[in-house]
Homo-oligomer: A and B are copies of this chain.
Amino acid sequence: MNHQVFNELDLTSLLSLSFSALIDELHDRLRELGFGDIRPAHGFMFKCITPNGATGIELAEYLGITKQAVSKMVDYLEKSGYVVRQTHPTDKRGKIIVLTERGWLVVKAKEKILTEIEGGWSKNIGTERMQMLKEDLSKLVFEENTGKLSSRLRPVW
């Protein structure tokens, strides 16, 4: 495969491919560390659970998905040993989802791996350009959502 094909990629494909390259590498490396049962969809949920736990409703709002979808994901993560449901201290209807020890391990591993990947990318394009890239993407994400900051904001990891 030669370089030429990549020069012809449009912005949409570039964003799609760079994102999936990042996620794929992350999950390859998590699998090597024994976290093969963690899938891309679970990533952003951990971000909301740390550090103090979260209720299902909070997770649903944060991820922009329904509470039912959250409930099923939590079923899976609880079964896999990453989180546990605790009874809510003041509201007997609610539960708070918190990380187990294994949950903390995968979150720490994820942070380390992402730092390494971003470091590699910075070495490739230069730290100044990486800084610019993040600034510009921040502007685009912000601009795109002024006035309609909705359920659509669903980052992963």
A: residues with CB less than 8 A from B are: 1, 3, 6-7, 9-26, 43-44, 114, 118, 121, 124-125, 129-130, 132-134, 136-145, 149, 152-157
Contact = CB atoms under 8 A, between A and B. Distances in A.
A140 B18 contact: yes
A20 B152 contact: yes
A58 B139 CA distance: 38
Contacts of A132: 129, 132-133, 136
A137 to B, nearest CB: 4
Contacts of A6: 138, 141-142
A13 B139 contact: no
A6 B14 CA distance: 21
Contacts of A1: 145, 149
Best-surrounded residue of A14, A43, A154 (most CB of chain B within 10 A)? A14
B21 A141 contact: yes
Nearest to A156: B16
A1 B154 CA distance: 15
A125 B154 contact: no
